[in-house]
C-alpha cells in the first residue's frame, strides 16, 4: 500500500491567513526554517491506479495540482480518486467535497452515521452536493467489523471510534457520540502490512492502543505540542484536549505513548496546527522528536508499506 500525504496541517493550514504567531509570521518573513503546509488529507492506493481520498480538504484543488497521479487523463473528464472516506465532519476534512462537485458520477462516500448526520444537518454539505454530482453513502461500521471498499479489494479497513470532539456546529459538540471521529487500521491483504491513521485523537484507549501496536506505521494526531498552546499565545480560548486533540508533550501526551510502541514501528505526526513549535525545524521540539525517532508529516510525503 502506498500513502501520499496531500495535506499535513490542521484546520487553517500553515501559514494561516490571519495568523501572526511566531511560526506563521516567521515562515512569511523567512526567519523560521519551516515548510508551508495545506490542510489535512491523505490518499491511499493498493494498485497505483485507484486512490482512496481520506478527507476532502479546503485545499484540495492545490493538492490535486501538486500530485499529478490523481489526474491520469484517460478521458475528457477524469480522476484517479475512486472513493472518498471521511474521518470526521470537521470543516478541514470535508469542505473539499464542494470542489469535487463536477464529478461525472455520484461519489462513493464512506463515513460513520454521526458524521453523515452532521453533514446533512449541522452543516448540510451533502444535501447541497445532491444538486451537483451527489454521493452514495456507505456507512463505516464502528463495531470493530472489518470492511472493504469497492475498487480497493486488496485493502482491509477497520474503524475505531475515538474519544475526540464533534465539530462546533454538531448537535453533539462537547457531548461526543461514538463515530464522531474515527481512527483507521488499514491492512494490505497482499503483504499483511498495516497503517494506523488518526488525525484527531483526543484520548488513548485500550482498543486504540492495541490497534497502534499492531501497525507497521502510525500516522497520528500532531495538532498541538502543549494542551494550552493556543491559550498561551492568546490565539484562542480552546485547549487542545477540549478540541479533541491529545497534546504531544507531558505526562500521558502523544510522545509518551509513541515511545512505548515496538521499535520497528514508524511514528509520524500529522494534522499539525500552525502554532505547534515542532514546525520550526531549527527548534528544540523538532530536535526532541528526531531524537525520539518521531517524524513530522509534510505535504507530498509518501509512506510505502
Please report whether residue 112 would count as binding Zn ion according to CB under 5 A: no
243 binds, among Mn ion, ligand MLT, Zn ion, none (CB under 5 to 8 A by kind): ligand MLT
Q: What is the maximum alpha-carbon separation in the chain? A: 54
CB atoms within 10 A of CB 192: 9
Give the torsion through C-alpha atoms of 12, 284, 3, 104, to 10 deg.
10
Is the Cβ–Cβ distance between 191 and 205 less than 8 Å? no
- Least distance in angstroms from the C-beta of 243 to Mn ion: 8
How far from 164 is each of 60, 97, 140, 175, CA to CA, in Å? 24, 23, 17, 10
Please report whether residue 274 would count as binding Zn ion according to CB under 5 A: yes
Please report whether residue 272 would count as binding Zn ion according to CB under 5 A: no
129 binds, among Zn ion, Mn ion, ligand MLT, none (CB under 5 to 8 A by kind): none
Which one among 23, 82, 90, 226 touches Mn ion, defined by CB under 5 A?
A: 90
160 binds, among Mn ion, ligand MLT, Zn ion, none (CB under 5 to 8 A by kind): none
Strand order in the sheet with 302-304: 135-139, 107-111, 81-85, 51-54, 41-45, 2-7, 302-304
- Least distance in angstroms from the C-beta of 277 to Zn ion: 11
95 binds, among Mn ion, ligand MLT, Zn ion, none (CB under 5 to 8 A by kind): none
Please report whether residue 11 would count as binding Mn ion according to CB under 5 A: yes
Closest to ligand MLT by CB, 17 or 48:
17
The beta-strand segments (E) located in 131-276 are: 135-139, 146-147, 155-161, 182-188, 194-198, 217-221, 266-270
Please report whether residue 244 would count as binding Mn ion according to CB under 5 A: no
Which one among 3, 5, 10, 19 touches Zn ion, defined by CB under 5 A?
A: 19
The C-alpha cell at 243 is: 478540541
The C-alpha cell at 134 is: 451527489
21 binds, among Mn ion, Zn ion, ligand MLT, none (CB under 5 to 8 A by kind): Zn ion
- Least distance in angstroms from the C-beta of 90 to ligand MLT: 4
Please report whether residue 59 would count as binding Mn ion according to CB under 5 A: no
The C-alpha cell at 246 is: 491529545
Please report whether residue 276 would count as binding Zn ion according to CB under 5 A: no
Please report whether residue 41 would count as binding Mn ion according to CB under 5 A: no
Is the Cβ–Cβ distance between 13 and 38 less than 8 Å? yes
Which one among 5, 9, 10, 21 touches Zn ion, defined by CB under 5 A?
A: 21
- β-bridge partners, 41: 7
Instruction: Build a one-symbol-per-residue string for 246-275: x at contacts with Mn ion by CB under 5 A, - elsewhere.
Output: ------------------------------
Is the Cβ–Cβ distance between 147 and 140 less than 8 Å? yes
The beta-strand segments (E) located in 19-80 are: 41-45, 51-54
19 binds, among ligand MLT, Zn ion, Mn ion, none (CB under 5 to 8 A by kind): Zn ion
Q: What are phi and psi of 268, to 5 degrees?
A: -135, 130
Closest to Mn ion by CB, 164 or 265:
164
24 binds, among ligand MLT, Zn ion, Mn ion, none (CB under 5 to 8 A by kind): Zn ion
291 Cβ neighbours under 8 A, 6+ residues apart: none
Count of residues of this chain found to bind Zn ion when the rule CB under 5 A is applied: 5
Where along the sequence are the contacts to ligand MLT (CB under 6 A)? 10-11, 90-92, 200, 243
Give CA–CA dist 183/270, Å, rounded.
13
Query: Where on the chain is the footprint of Mn ion (CB under 5 A)?
Result: 10-11, 90, 92
Which residues form the interface with Zn ion (CB under 5 A)?
16, 19, 21, 24, 274
Amino acid at each position: 500500500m502506498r500513502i501520499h500525504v496531500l495535506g499535513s496541517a490542521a484546520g487553517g493550514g500553515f501559514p494561516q491567513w490571519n495568523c501572526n504567531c511566531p511560526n506563521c509570521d516567521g515562515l512569511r518573513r523567512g526567519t523560521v526554517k519551516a515548510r508551508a503546509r495545506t490542510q489535512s488529507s491523505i490518499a491511499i492506493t493498493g494498485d497505483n491506479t485507484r486512490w482512496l481520498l481520506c478527507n476532502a480538504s479546503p485545499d484540495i484543488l492545490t493538492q490535486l495540482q501538486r500530485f499529478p497521479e490523481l489526474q491520469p487523463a484517460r478521458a475528457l473528464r477524469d480522476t484517479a480518486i475512486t472513493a472518498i472516506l471521511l474521518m470526521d465532519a470537521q470543516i478541514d476534512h470535508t469542505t473539499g467535497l464542494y470542489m469535487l462537485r463536477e464529478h461525472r458520477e455520484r461519489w462513493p462516500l464512506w463515513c460513520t452515521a454521526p458524521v453523515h448526520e452532521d453533514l446533512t444537518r449541522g452543516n448540510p454539505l451533502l444535501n447541497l452536493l445532491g444538486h451537483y454530482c451527489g454521493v452514495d453513502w456507505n456507512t463505516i461500521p464502528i463495531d470493530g467489523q472489518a470492511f472493504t471498499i469497492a475498487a480497493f479489494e486488496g485493502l482491509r479497513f477497520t474503524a475505531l471510534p475515538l474519544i475526540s470532539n464533534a465539530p462546533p456546529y454538531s448537535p453533539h459538540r462537547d457531548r461526543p457520540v461514538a463515530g464522531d471521529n474515527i481512527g483507521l487500521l488499514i491492512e494490505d491483504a497482499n503483504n499483511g502490512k498495516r497503517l494506523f491513521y488518526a488525525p484527531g485523537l483526543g484520548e488513548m484507549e485500550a482498543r486504540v492502543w492495541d490497534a497502534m501496536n499492531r501497525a507497521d506505521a502510525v500516522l497520528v494526531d500532531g495538532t498541538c505540542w502543549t494542551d494550552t498552546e493556543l491559550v498561551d499565545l492568546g490565539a484562542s480560548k480552546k485547549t487542545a484536549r477540549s478540541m479533541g486533540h491529545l497534546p504531544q508533550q507531558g505526562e500521558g501526551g502523544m510522545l509518551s505513548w509513541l515511545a512505548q510502541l515496538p521499535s520497528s514501528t514508524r511514528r509520524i505526526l500529522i494534522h499539525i496546527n500552525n502554532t505547534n513549535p515542532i514546525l520550526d525545524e531549527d527548534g528544540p521540539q523538532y530536535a526532541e522528536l528526531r531524537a525520539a525517532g518521531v517524524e513530522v508529516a509534510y505535504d507530498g510525503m509518501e509512506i510505502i508499506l
